[in-house]
Amino acid sequence: MSALSRDDVAHVAMLARIQLTDAELDRLAGQLDQIVGWVGQVNEVAADDVPPMSHPLPLTNVTRPDEVRPSLTAEQALANAPEAELDRFSVPRILDED
C-alpha cells in the first residue's frame, strides 16, 4: 500500500515552498513513499504512557538581561542580500496584483 502518492509529494513540496519539476517528482515520490513506510515502524512501539522527548537537556527558559548589545550594521546585514535598496532588503511582490 502506498503511504505517499505522487500528488501528496507535490502538495507537501509546495507546503515546504519547493517547486519540484516533473522529473524530480518522478524520482523523489517513490523514494519518499518507501521512506515514509519505513519510518512508520515507530508505531509498532506501545508508548501511550511514555512522555515525548523534545530535546536531551533539562533546560527551560534560559534568559538574559534585555540590554542593547553590539549587532550587525545595516551594511553588514545587507551585504549578502540578493537585492537591496535604500538600506533595505528588496523583495518580489508579496500581494496579488489583481
Partner 1 sequence: MTTAPDLTHLTAVQMADGLASGEFTSVELTQAHLDRITALNPVLNAFLQVDIDGALATAADVDARRAAGEELPRLAGVPIAVKDIACTQGIPTTAGSRTLEGWIPPYDATIVTRLKDARMPILGKTNMDEFAMGSSTEHSAFGPTRNPWNLDRIPGGSGGGSSAAVAAFLAPLAIGSDTGGSIRQPGAVTGTVGAKPTYGGVSRYGVIALASSLDQIGPCARTVTDAALLHEVIGGHDPMDSTSIDAPVPPVVEASANRDLTGLRIGIVTELTGEGYQDGVQARFDESVQLLRDAGAEIVEVSCPHFRYAMAAYYLILPSEASSNLARYDAMRYGLRVAPEGVESPSAEQVMASSRDAGFGDEVKRRIILGTYALSSGYYDAYYGQAQKVRTLIARDFEAAFEQADVLISPTAPTTAFKIGDKLEDPMAMYLNDIATIPANLAGIPGLSLPSGVADEDGLPVGIQILAPATQDQRMYAVGAALEALLAQQWGGSGSVLDRAPEVTTGAVSEEAK
Q: Which positions lie near partner 1, rule CB under 8 A?
A: 4, 8-9, 12-21, 24, 27-28, 31-32, 34-36, 38-45, 47, 50-57, 59, 62, 64, 72, 76-77, 79-83, 89, 91-97
Q: How far is the CB of 68 from partner 1 (least distance, A)?
A: 15
- Count of CB atoms situated within 10 Å of the CB of 9: 20
State the cell numbers at 92.
518580489
Q: How far is the CB of 66 from partner 1 (least distance, A)?
A: 14
Q: How far is the CB of 35 from partner 1 (least distance, A)?
A: 6
Q: b/e for 49-82, b at 16 or more Cβ within 10 A?
A: eeeeeeeeeeeeeeeeeeeeeeeeeeeeebeeee
Q: How far is the CB of 89 from partner 1 (least distance, A)?
A: 5
Closest to partner 1 by CB, 2 vs 83, is: 83
Secondary structure of 44-73 as H, E, C letters: HCCCCCCCCCCCCCCCCCCCCCCCCCCCCC
Closest to partner 1 by CB, 59 vs 68, is: 59
